[in-house]
Amino acid sequence: MPLDPTQFADWQIAEAAEENMPSPEEWRERLGLEKDEVIPYGNKLCKLDFLKIIERLKDRPDGKFIDVTAITPTPLGEGKTTTTLGLIEGLSKRGMNVGGAIRQPSGGPTMNIKGTAAGGGNALLIPMTEFSLGLTGDINDITNAHNLAMVALNARMQHERNYSDEELAKRNLRRLDIDPTNVQMGWVIDFAAQCLRNIIIGIGGRMDGYMMASKFGITVSSELMAILAIARDLKDLRERIGNIIVAYDKKGNPVTTTDLEVAGAMTAWMRNTINPTLCCTIEYQPVMVHAGPFANIAIGQSSIIADRLGLKMFDYHVTESGFGADIGFEKFWNVKCRLSGHIPNAAVIVTTVRALKMHGGGPKVVPGRPLPEEYSKENLELLEKGIPNLLHHIGIVKKSGVKPVVCINAFHTDTKEEIEMIRRYAEQAGARCAVSQHWLKGGEGALELADAVIDACKEEVDFKYLYPLDMPLRERVELIAKEVYGADGVSWTPEAEAKAKQLESDPAFKDFATMMVKTHLSLSHDPNLKGVPKGWILPVRDILIFAGARFLCPMTGTISLMPGTGSDPAFRRIDVDVNTGKVKGLF
């Protein structure tokens, strides 16, 4: 029997489930894998050898493909990962061969305000501590590979300053003539460290590096994380890493990792990252963990590699997209699916009664203070004012041709009338609707949701992308802003528009994906605008070029690639029991 999450903390539920968690050898037998297809990492964890498994199963038909997305996030939390895991548990209860893929959490949010991303209640991922604190090292490998590129760049700049062309030639180097004012990359660390957003490096003498302005981003915003999410295999990973633009020379030509002769070593650091890590729900359904979070500043999807494996191994493969449908699902739809060729059979839109009340104008929620009573007592008027946000996200999914299923992630404070109001509006908008109690009851609580998804997967999908690849960049951005976000139009700073025109005129960038960078807290660029804002213009201030991932990333609003740590971060409550070695306070 599952533990009651109203009486037990998540870590206690996870600890109880981990006692019977399958070993790597048991997973091999359960999943019908060959001995050399499972790579053990200790007693609990293992990686799946992607190349060997996909080669053996390449002729097997794909299973059903389900994406989990959500309404615009609020501080109340909508439970997207919890729903993803609960749906997997529910489909298993219905006798389906089911598995899934989710993203690895970043140390930044884990040690900050958000905490871990392992689900909750009886819809949890285990082993929770390992999942939350580094897992099998993919993020560490990305950090090292990324920073190695910066080490190579700064060392090269120092040597070109200190040596003549003849002396460089003796060292088998050619002068790259890098422009110190046009360096594209910075350093990365997987914490939210606002003090590192703008730094000066190379302070000291001529042997202490090249002095210049630099910066840090959070690791999961690295182009290498984006590449891991979209790479199809090791060969593709190596090719994309070699095309990363680190800086430009003084004539405006790109300087790549290949020019710096560091791409091979970067790939060596990342060679093991192409193999997904196998974890599971507390009901022991398999869930792969691969690639990282942050859909507002990155792709925000688990990997194409994990989807390729899951669609061959399972009859139902469930994944999730970061944040709301305006960001995560839009990138899943127009970028990930285009690159992978996979067509989703259904998309689940997670919502809660209380989150919709916030979008309807409910009072601000302050961490550490009691929840305002508007969120725990029936208030149909407030709820109805917030429902347009849900309807907007239903409309986004329907534009793709995918069948939307609204999941009302139930709380004990929800009333029958509130739930029926959401159901009525969702069904009128052309979506299926299900109430799920997976947090409380696990798979048994998710049967209605599982049935709705199974039903949706029976229908044909008239899948279509929002834009063709030959559409110019500015037209794509305008289309996304109007059709997905609901903006009246787009404004460009002079610098951003000049850059866009240059990119549009260069055939090398013609088929690059458009990876929008926008706040997740609003359909607009302004995180304070809730619900469905009207009468606004999307401002674009810059465009990042990810030449390895083949992304053009229009930057909107004031989004930063390095989040900040709040005044009451989670690390204040995390410690280790010195008698047992177990981590406490993490969940």
The verdict on whether 333 is a catalytic residue reads: no
Choice among 123-137, 321-335, 569-583 with the minimum mean pLDDT: 569-583
* pLDDT at position 393 over 90: yes
Mutual angle of helices 138-162 and 223-230, in 10-degree steps: 130
* AA identity, residue 532: V
The verdict on whether 103 is a catalytic residue reads: yes
Tokens of 473: 């960049």
* pLDDT at position 173 over 70: yes
Alpha carbons 262 and 260: distance in angstroms, whole number: 5
Active-site residue among 238, 271, 411, 510? 411
Active-site residue among 269, 323, 492, 551? 323
Tokens of 125: 């991922």
Choice among 36-40, 448-452, 517-521 with the minimum mean pLDDT: 517-521
Active-site residue among 333, 439, 512, 587? 439
Choice among 109-113, 294-298, 396-400, 427-431 with the minimum mean pLDDT: 294-298
DSSP one-letter string for 61-100: PP-EEEEEEESS--TT---HHHHHHHHHHHHHHTT--EEE
156 contacts 109 by C-beta, under 8 angstroms: no
255 contacts 247 by C-beta, under 8 angstroms: yes
Residue in the structure block whose two tokens are 């609020």: 74
Q: What's the pTM value of the predicted model, to 2 decimals?
A: 0.95
The verdict on whether 530 is a catalytic residue reads: no
Active-site residue among 103, 232, 432, 441? 103
Provide the percentage of residues in the chain whose pLDDT is more than 70: 99
- Encode pLDDT of 120-157 as tens digits: 999 999 999 999 999 999 999 999 999 999 999 999 99
Alpha carbons 509 and 556: distance in angstroms, whole number: 20
The structural domains of the chain, ordered by start, are: 138-267 (3.30.1510.10), 473-556 (3.10.410.10)
The verdict on whether 80 is a catalytic residue reads: yes
The verdict on whether 82 is a catalytic residue reads: yes
- Per-residue pLDDT, 156: 97
The verdict on whether 587 is a catalytic residue reads: no
Alpha carbons 125 and 123: distance in angstroms, whole number: 7
549 contacts 230 by C-beta, under 8 angstroms: yes
3-state helix, strand and coil shares in percent for the chain, rounded to the nearest 5:
40, 20, 40
Active-site residue among 80, 240, 432, 530? 80
406 contacts 431 by C-beta, under 8 angstroms: yes
Instruction: Identify the three-state secondary structure at position 462.
Output: coil
Alpha carbons 143 and 20: distance in angstroms, whole number: 33
Active-site residue among 44, 47, 93, 114? 114
The verdict on whether 439 is a catalytic residue reads: yes
Question: pLDDT-based confidence at 98, cuts 50/70/90?
Answer: very high
